[in-house]
Amino acid sequence: MAVVWLVLSTILWGSWAIFEKKLTGTGNLYWVNAYYVMAEVTAAPFYIWAALKFGGQFQWNWSMAGWAYAAWGANAGATMIGLYLLSKYDAGWVTSITAAYPLVTVVLAILFLGEQISVHGLIGAVLVAAGLVLLSL
């Protein structure tokens, strides 16, 4: 079952860039980003319902809130830059470069979280990086 979810997630991530590319052609990038955020905000009731149904009773957690806003800030910055790039360049090219973010995550996890990477993981990261370079040509 995990493979089905992984495939679905991959398809959704892949279609996300196409939706964003179409979105950038609809108007001024500041308004495009505002609509993007409004779409997320309108989904808030669903997220709250799912959290209450499956995540237990609500409790305030300052650490969770802080990390959530840090993640949101990184996502918002990346989204705004990505939307700008998509408005100027081909979706395939932009996405093939920005798809390197898991490699950045691996490096940051090693540096700041003390995570370990196996030899196989290192070889895989190098191969992914090489593939991204080839895709971007």
pLDDT in tens, 102-135: 888 888 888 988 989 899 988 988 898 888 778 7
pTM of the predicted model as reported, rounded to 2 decimal places: 0.70
How far is the C-alpha of 124 from the C-alpha of 137, rounded, in Å?
A: 20
* DSSP type of residue 61: -
Dihedral of the alpha carbons of 103, 131, 124, 79, in degrees to the nearest 10: 20
How far is the C-alpha of 103 from the C-alpha of 122, rounded, in Å?
A: 10
Query: Letter for the amino acid at 29?
Result: L
pLDDT in tens, 46-62: 888 988 888 888 878 88
pLDDT in tens, 16-44: 777 877 887 877 778 877 887 888 889 88
Q: What is the mean pLDDT of residues 12-19?
A: 77
